[in-house]
Amino acid sequence: MRLLLSLASLSLAVGSVGAVTKRVPSQYGTIQAGINAASHGDTVLVADGIYTGTGNRDIDFGGKRIVVKSENGPDSCIIDCQGSALDRHRGFYFHNSEDSTAVLAGFTICNGYQIEGGALYVAWTSTSPTITANIIKANSADMAGGGISCYQSSPRIVDNQFIGNSGSSGGAISLAWANPLIHGNTFIGNSAQSGGAIDCSASSDAVISNNLIVRNTATAYDGGGIKCASSSPEIRNNTICSNVSGYSAAALSILSGNPTIRNTLIWANKPLQVSVAFSSPTIGYCDIQGSDSNADGNISEKPLFLDPHLGNYNVCSQSPCVDAGDPAIQDPDGSRSDIGVFFETHPECFVGNSWHVAVDGNDTTGDGSPGAPFATIQHAIDTCYHGDTIVVQPGRYVESTNLYGKTILLTSNYVFSADSLHIEGTVIDGDSATAITLEYGEDSTTTISGFSITGGSPGVYCWMSDPVIISNIITENLSSGVFCRDSDPMIIANSITENLGSGVFCRGSAPTIISNNIASNRGSGVDCREGSNALIQGNTVNQNSTEGEYAGIRSNGSSPTVLWNTITGNSGGGIYCANGRPLIRGNLISLNTTTSNGAGIYCSVCRATIDSNTITLNSADGGGGIFCISNSDAVIEDNLISHNTAGVCGGVHCAAGSDAEVGHNVISHNSAQTEGGGLYIIQSSPD
């Protein structure tokens, strides 16, 4: 991934006739003392150790063109700033026109705490040092740049690791009127209110290239990976993955300015990948999850990472990102550029092997064969490749699993025997955590089948992933059985019962939910929100048991298609619809109850099409069969609406401007305590 600059070569790169090496601590007791004694072209060589206190923090190059480097690299040479809110210190301060021949290399710089630039502060127009091959971790700033703050400067920040730094803006690096080169770095676990890894603001036209930017967080606002504001940087060949934002775009937030984004892989970030406001960025030859644009060489295809959970964001040789970058740009090996960070090789991944897991297996000595199985499902996932099968033997597996984007079949022996006892006997217990997580863009080539999934919160969690979830028992989870966020999974032939939340909860998703038994959940059987236009077909939705807006099937701000289901015995009503245009056709909606309105179907601000249903034996306070309110101009045709009861209107109740079209229905044997046994209209003009 990296072509690291050798520490031993640095002094040769910037040396001059008569250059001298100043050694710390054998000749000079502190790093600052070594710098003070050095002249242009010299090297200050720092031995292994942990350096603290005066002279080993708040270090100033004093404008000298020198190399300050460790003897054996950052793991062995640590500058511990020991800073705090009451005693502020940082590692280095560059402010005296140091140029690129002023080099800082090979240190771990940690525990700095400043107003700006927790580890390093680089300021003023002619200041442009080279900062390379360092580990910059666990530093903090009250304001900008937990790791490095650049103000009106142009440093070269190359091949460093930024880990766990924090600030108000720019957890790792903050830029203001600065034009640095930020190349070949790794950013992981940094956080800020905005710009979790990098905040590029105030006319900062940086070059940000070949960086790995993962698992950073914007805690309050936008840009968990990179935030650009009033700036036009060049962002090229980066991998930006698994970052989180508290507000807008997790990966990349562009607020004015016109950045150029090329050859960059943006995947599995939350809640969004890219947001643009008041800006006209140029985006080409990028792989952006969920993007609907294939113009300018952009794709939205699963990158096929090797092992992202282990920090390996290389992609398989079969990845659509390989040799798919801008053809005008070459990789260092001379080939057409890839999308994402450059790696010298891309291993073959599609092996098609089978891996075995058993409760008496061993993750250390086992090899995943039938005779020497692994002990945990997660270890098998970590070991396998795309296209493999994981076969889990009967037993209880108490673990929280994550598929990390792998295109695999995860199954019990049920898939081979069709014996449902294998489903009951092969248990994944989330132990209060999520039992199964799919959040790396898994698609229909990833299948989960043949398990009892229990004890999770939720049982199965899909974020921007579209797997197949088939023939499982999903029961007694501590929240929803299946939670879908911006995902379109296929949920087929499962038993989803007795979960403490909804059976299936959808937000911004369009799952296919077919032939499931969804029963006795403490929320809705299926809950669709925020544009969740699900297909809900051929399910039994029975005895789900909460009141209020919850029901057998609940839809708010969504337009699901609800076909040929049996929806019976739900205590919050059969179907609840608000703010959408659902299609409700061919269902049996029976024996549902609610202490409110609309025990069969409830519509509020809703243009539903309700046809060819049997709506019978439901009981409510108002509208035992169908209740339309708040300008719900539903189309109600060809239904059998019978034997429903209510306080007001047992059959169809239209109120508050709900001008429904009611035709060709059989409305019979409905009863009400007061008005309208069959049809009751108030402040409405139905046809």
Q: Give mean pLDDT, residues 483-510.
A: 96
User: Residue 329 domain-assigned?
Assistant: no
Q: Per the domain annotation, does 25 fall within a domain?
A: no
Residue 309 belongs to some domain of the structure: no
Percent share of the chain, pLDDT over 90: 76
621: left (phi over 0), alpha (psi -120 to 50) or beta: alpha
Q: Residue 1: is its pLDDT beyond 50? A: no
Distant-in-sequence, close-in-space partners of 682: CB < 8 Å, separation ≥ 6:
654, 655, 656
Dihedral sign (CA 493, 498, 499, 503): positive
What total of structural domains would you count in the chain?
Answer: 3
| Same domain? 248 vs 357 | no
pLDDT over 70 percentage in the chain = 95
Please check whether residues 488 and 522 belong to one and the same domain. Answer: no
Q: In 486-518, which positions are buried (b, 16+ CB within 10 angstroms) versus exposed (e)?
A: bbbbbbbebbbbbbebbbbbbbbbbbbbbebbb
Same domain, 625 and 685: yes
Establish if 14 belongs to a structural domain.
no
Q: Output the pTM of the full model.
A: 0.78
Reported as a single tens digit per residue, the pLDDT across 505-552 is: 999 999 999 999 999 999 999 999 999 999 999 999 999 987 556 789
pLDDT tens track for 162-181: 999 999 999 999 999 999 99
| Mean pLDDT, residues 444-472 taken together | 96
Mean predicted lDDT score pLDDT of the chain: 91
Question: Do 218 and 72 share a domain, yes or no?
Answer: yes
Q: Which residues contact 632 (CB under 8 A, 6 or more apart)?
A: 603, 604, 605, 606, 607, 608, 654, 658, 660
What is the CATH number for 423?
A: 2.160.20.10
Average pLDDT score over residue span 138-159: 97
| Final residue in a domain of this structure, among 500, 523, 539 | 500
* pLDDT for 671 beyond 60: yes
pLDDT tens, 297-339?
A: 999 998 988 888 778 899 989 899 999 999 999 988 889 999 9
165 and 233 within one domain: yes
Task: Give the residue among 150, 239, 227, 233 at the shortest CA–CA distance from 187.
Answer: 239
| 407-424 pLDDT tens trace | 999 999 998 888 889 999
DSSP state of 203: S
Mean pLDDT, to the nearest integer, of 431-443? Answer: 94
Q: What is the pLDDT of residue 680?
A: 72
Identify the domain boundary among 260, 290, 320.
290
83 and 178 housed in the same domain: yes
Question: What is the mean pLDDT of the segment spanning 429-437?
Answer: 97
Quick one: the chain helix, strand, coil %, rounded to 5? 5, 40, 55
* 470 and 536 inside one domain: no
Which pLDDT belongs to residue 441?
87
pLDDT given for residue 543 in this prediction: 94
- Are 433 and 571 in the same domain? no
Evaluate whether residue 310 is within a structural domain. Answer: no
User: Rounded to the nearest 5°, which phi and psi values hold at 12?
Assistant: -65, -35
- Rounded Cα–Cα distance for residues 677 and 364 (Å): 70
Query: Which has more pLDDT, 606 or 158?
Result: 158
Decide: helix, strand or coil at residue 193: strand
pLDDT at position 470 over 50 = yes
Across 220-238, b (16+ Cβ under 10 Å) vs e yields ebbbbbbbbbebbbebbbb
Taking alpha carbons only, the member of 133, 176, 188 closest to residue 156 is 133
253 and 110 share one domain:
yes
Q: Is residue 126 part of a domain?
A: yes
CA–CA separation, 600 vs 570, rounded Å? 10
Give 559-586 pLDDT, tens digit per residue.
Answer: 999 999 999 999 989 999 999 999 999 9
**Which whole number is the average pLDDT over 47-76?**
97
Residue 614: both structure tokens together? 């049997």
For residues 370 and 283, membership in a common domain is answered with no
Other CB atoms within a 10 A radius of the CB of residue 347 amount to 12
Same domain, 171 and 265: yes
The verdict on 521 and 407 lying in the same domain is no
Among 270, 290, 310, the domain-final residue is 290
* Virtual torsion, Cα 82, 85, 87, 90, nearest 10 deg: 50
pLDDT at 4: 42
- Within 13 Å and on the Cβ side, how many CA atoms surround 239? 27
Instruction: Work out the pLDDT band at 11, boundaries 50, 70, 90.
Output: very low
Task: Answer yes or no: is 315 within a domain.
Answer: no
**How far is the CA of 330 from the CAs of 222, 281, 324, 508, in angstroms?**
32, 22, 11, 39
pLDDT at position 417 is 82
**Does 327 fall in a domain?**
no
Range of the domain at 244: 50-290
Q: Are 616 and 590 in contact (CB under 8 A)?
A: yes
| pLDDT above 90: residue 6 | no
Torsion of CA 180, 185, 187, 192, to 10 degrees: -10
Furthest-apart CA pair in the chain: how many Å? 106
